[in-house]
């Protein structure tokens, strides 16, 4: 028993919070995408659905931006000790990434927003490459011996970033099509193009959901971790001390 909330418990809560606000709104974006190509829906309804997709999508993007920072801090409690320079990068990553996401959304349609979007895209690609390399190095050097499932979760995170990039690339023509729909009204060619665009994006959406749910399951089961750690939600005593 203890009084108050420990740092470990707070990080656990934030980790779950980010997962919920990543997956939940992502499902909402998918639902709105179906409305965009719904047969019988008016042009105005489709345009509104497209705008809702863009608005709601900001929530999972913000959650993604903070997930590595929270996860990195949480991994300290399962035996993954980071040197100071690596911890500094972990702590700074979330706020910087979130700032780029917010700038891209809030200043959308401006040169500043386009620059922020471009920098965020570069950051995603950097992580898509860097995360698997880091997992490989940590596996070879034995850093993941107490929590090998963390490496698997990181690889899934990199895969989600890749699927997300491919998803956004697939949906890119949709924005222009919705602008044309608002300006000139629907045409058979335009409607078919929108339908095909959304249909081709769905496999990446489902892949993201499967990867996220798999990562959540790994976090619960903790495969490969010592039995004393995997059977308990509490961190090792040596790491927990001083956090009450």
pLDDT tens, position by position, 38-92: 878 888 898 999 999 989 999 999 999 999 999 999 999 888 888 899 999 999 9
Contact present, 8 and 240 (Cβ < 8 Å): yes
Contact present, 1 and 9 (Cβ < 8 Å): no
- At 142-158, the pLDDT tens digits run 999 989 999 999 999 99
User: In which band, very low, low, confident or very high, does the pLDDT at 202 lie, cut at 50, 70 and 90?
Assistant: very high
Residue 244 counted as domain residue: no
Residue 176 counted as domain residue: yes
User: In which band, very low, low, confident or very high, does the pLDDT at 173 lie, cut at 50, 70 and 90?
Assistant: confident
The H or E element that residue 4 is part of is: none
Which residue segment(s) compose the domain that 179 sits in? 7-235
Spatial distance between the Cα atoms of 221 and 210, rounded to a whole number of angstroms: 16
Question: Which pLDDT does position 230 carry in this prediction?
Answer: 55
Residue 62 counted as domain residue: yes
Residue 240 counted as domain residue: no
How many domains is the chain partitioned into structurally?
1
Residue 39 counted as domain residue: yes
Residue 168 counted as domain residue: yes
Residue 138's CB is within 10 A of a number of other CB atoms, namely 18
Whether residue 176 is predicted with pLDDT greater than 90 in this model: the reply is no
pTM of the model: 0.89
Residue 138 counted as domain residue: yes
Residue 241 counted as domain residue: no
């Amino acid at each position: 028993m203890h009084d108050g909330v420990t740092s470990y418990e707070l990080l656990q809560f934030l980790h779950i919070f980010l997962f919920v606000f990543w997956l939940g709104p992502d499902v909402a974006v998918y639902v709105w995408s179906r409305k965009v190509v719904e047969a019988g829906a008016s042009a105005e309804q489709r345009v509104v659905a497209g705008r809702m997709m863009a608005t709601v999508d900001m929530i999972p993007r913000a959650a993604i931006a903070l997930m590595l920072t929270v996860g990195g801090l949480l991994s300290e409690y399962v035996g993954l000790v980071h040197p100071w320079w690596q911890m500094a990068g972990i702590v700074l990553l979330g706020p910087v990434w979130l700032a780029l996401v917010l700038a891209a959304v809030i200043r959308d349609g401006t040169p500043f927003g386009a620059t922020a979007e471009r920098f965020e895209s570069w950051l995603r690609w950097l992580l898509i490459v860097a995360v698997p390399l880091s997992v490989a190095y940590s596996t070879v050097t034995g850093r993941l011996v107490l929590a090998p499932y963390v490496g698997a979760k990181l690889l899934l995170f990199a895969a989600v970033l890749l699927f997300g990039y491919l998803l956004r690339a697939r949906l890119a023509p949709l924005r222009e099509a919705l602008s044309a729909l608002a300006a000139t009204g629907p045409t058979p060619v335009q409607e078919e193009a929108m339908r095909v665009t959304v249909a081709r994006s769905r496999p990446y959406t489902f892949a993201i959901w499967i990867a996220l749910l798999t990562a959540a399951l790994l976090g619960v089961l903790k495969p490969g971790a010592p039995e004393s750690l995997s059977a308990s939600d509490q961190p090792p005593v040596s790491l927990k001390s001083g956090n009450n």
